[in-house]
Amino acid sequence: MRILITGGAGFIGSHLCERLLKDGHEVICLDNFFTGRKENIAHLMDNPVFEVIRHDVTEPILIEVDQIYNLACPASPVHYQYNPVKTIKTNIMGALNMLGLAKRVRARILQASTSEVYGDPKVHPQTEDYWGNANPIGLRACYDEGKRCAETLMFAYHRQNGVDIRVIRIFNTYGPRMLENDGRVVSNFIVQALKGADITIYGNGSQTRSFCYVDDMVEGMIRMMNNDHLVGPVNIGNPGEFTVMELANMIKRFTKSSSKIVHMPLPPDDPVQRKPDIKIANQSLGWKPTIGLEQGLLRSIEYFSERINNPKNPA
């Protein structure tokens, strides 16, 4: 198949490009390189069935493809809040453009939605039928509401035009190729611990998250895309739930770091708890995560320590 991945030079996108090429597909990576890097996909460039297009999803594009994975959108709060209007445009105009393309070339399209559609959830763990508790005017709204509207657009095109859609809700995902400075908790803590800098816990660290290793995420995405019966939304994430304090202590232990843990103000609307219910993914896709937090953190620590110690890649 010929497969388009928007946001393909980003963290998850680059792993997806790599895996789909390995599975024998032709892959087109489309990216505006806002948070993506050429070096994430540099090792794929020699592959004759891999193509890269520098393009912004807020502009229309016409390419003949069989499947579209729509991942284009900065995922870290620091980056998506940098230019909130652009984040909304990327989510909404990006979804419109990709849905228009899917409709025109009759491609199946998978939307990378997010656990953020549940906002600061009052239902725990989060099931797909929960409508969420998102603040429409807060600092996270450009992302949360952008992603919620992208889901709305997916279902409107599906009902109105018969577009073949798949929607997954991705929970916190981590692993190699996250940006060292992208502000997300796993990369922040690992880089801080490796450099002996203070580990910055926002608030008292009692808020929880569930962390999924990127290889498990990519497997879940591909299974969802190729399932002929389910449109979603389907939660994909690791249901292991940890407080941010527990995460900091694990990373400190695994890196044998002498870093101090310090507390900083909690950003507004920071969700108090998050954990996916993955019954649907498990029963309908036969998917469940296979890489636990310890194993995934050790692999990520290895990646970041190589980057930090390589003078060509100053972190």
Q: Which residues bind ligand UDP (CB under 6 A)?
A: 77, 172, 184-185, 188, 200-202, 207, 209, 244, 267, 270
Q: Does 300 bind ligand NAD (CB under 6 A)?
A: no
The entry of ligand UDP, ligand NAD, none near residue 270 (CB within 5 to 8 angstroms by kind) is ligand UDP
The entry of ligand NAD, ligand UDP, none near residue 114 (CB within 5 to 8 angstroms by kind) is ligand NAD
The entry of ligand UDP, ligand NAD, none near residue 34 (CB within 5 to 8 angstroms by kind) is ligand NAD
Q: Does 208 bind ligand NAD (CB under 6 A)?
A: no
Q: How far is the CB of 64 from ligand UDP (least distance, A)?
A: 35
Q: Does 131 bind ligand NAD (CB under 6 A)?
A: no
Query: How far from each other are the two terminal CA atoms of the chain, in whole angstroms?
Result: 37
Q: Does 114 bind ligand NAD (CB under 6 A)?
A: yes
CA separation (Å) from 238 to 169, 200, 207, 220? 12, 24, 16, 11
Contact status, residue 2 vs residue 25, Cβ threshold 8 Å: yes
Residue 162 CA to residue 158 CA, distance in Å, equals 5
Stretch that binds ligand NAD, among 70-78, 120-128, 191-199, 242-250 (CB under 6 A): 70-78
How many other β-carbons are positioned within 10 Å of the β-carbon of residue 125?
A: 20
Residues classed as catalytic: 143
Q: How far is the CB of 209 from ligand UDP (least distance, A)?
A: 5
CA separation (Å) from 166 to 75, 137, 151, 169? 19, 28, 10, 10
One-letter amino acid identity for 219? E
Instruction: Produce one character per residue of 51-73: b if its CB has 16 or more CB atoms within 10 Å, e if not.
Output: bbeebbbbeeeeeebebbbbbbb
Instruction: Provide φ and ψ at 201, rounded to 5°.
Output: -90, 125
Per-residue binding letters, 135-154, with ligand NAD (x by CB under 6 A) = --------------------
Q: How far is the CB of 251 from ligand NAD (least distance, A)?
A: 17
The entry of ligand UDP, ligand NAD, none near residue 185 (CB within 5 to 8 angstroms by kind) is ligand UDP
Contact status, residue 138 vs residue 268, Cβ threshold 8 Å: yes
Q: How far is the CB of 136 from ligand UDP (least distance, A)?
A: 17
